[in-house]
Amino acid sequence: MGSKKDSNRNRRLKGDGKNDFQPYFLWRWAEKIIGLKWALMLYSPYLGAGVRLKEMSKNYDRIVVEMKQRFWNTNYVGVHFGGSLYAMCDPFYMFLLMKRLGPSYIVWDQAGSIEFVRSGQGKVRAEFFLEETRLEEIKARVERDRKTTETFHVVVVDEKNQVVSRIEKKIYIRRMRQSRADK
């Protein structure tokens, strides 16, 4: 017999209109009380790494993050710690997709990689975009194939606009399954 936790997860993934795919309840609560931007800025891994959400468009098609170099995100050789560079870019395409597609779609981070191009020092920045045409292409692919894995790229640049690292994210997307009662 499955646990209550498993049962709640299965209901959340069913997509019957009442239990659509949604963020964890603490994230929903924080977003409702202080907004997504502040919830992300106060998220302990970002707070600890010094990641700051500088801009988030109202329609969720653009996010800009920055990270100043501090002693707690500087590695052994005096440059930005690579884990912090990756972390500052990790969830944002998933957030943009979840917000734009809505709760009738399941959106999961599937894979990610980082390529270090040059030493990062000072303040670094990354900008994430999700254009309407790309969103429509994703919806069409999901409608046709039931699911898709999309690849997104973002660069982290320094204050001189030189590329510090390149990040690739693979995001799995599919429609919620309808319950038998809805079919």
Q: What confidence category does residue 6 fall into, taking pLDDT thresholds of 50, 70 and 90?
A: low
More confident of the two residues 131 and 38 = 131
pTM of the model: 0.80
Indicate whether 178 pLDDT > 80: no
pLDDT tops 50 at residue 87: yes
Write the single-letter amino acid at 106: I
Q: For the chain, how big is the Rg over CA atoms in Å?
A: 18
- The residue type at 11: R
Under CATH, which number does the domain 4-182 receive?
A: 3.10.129.10
Helices (H) and strands (E) in the chain, counts: 7, 6
- Where are the domains positioned within the chain? 4-182
Q: Provide the H-helix boundaries in 70-123.
A: 82-87, 92-101
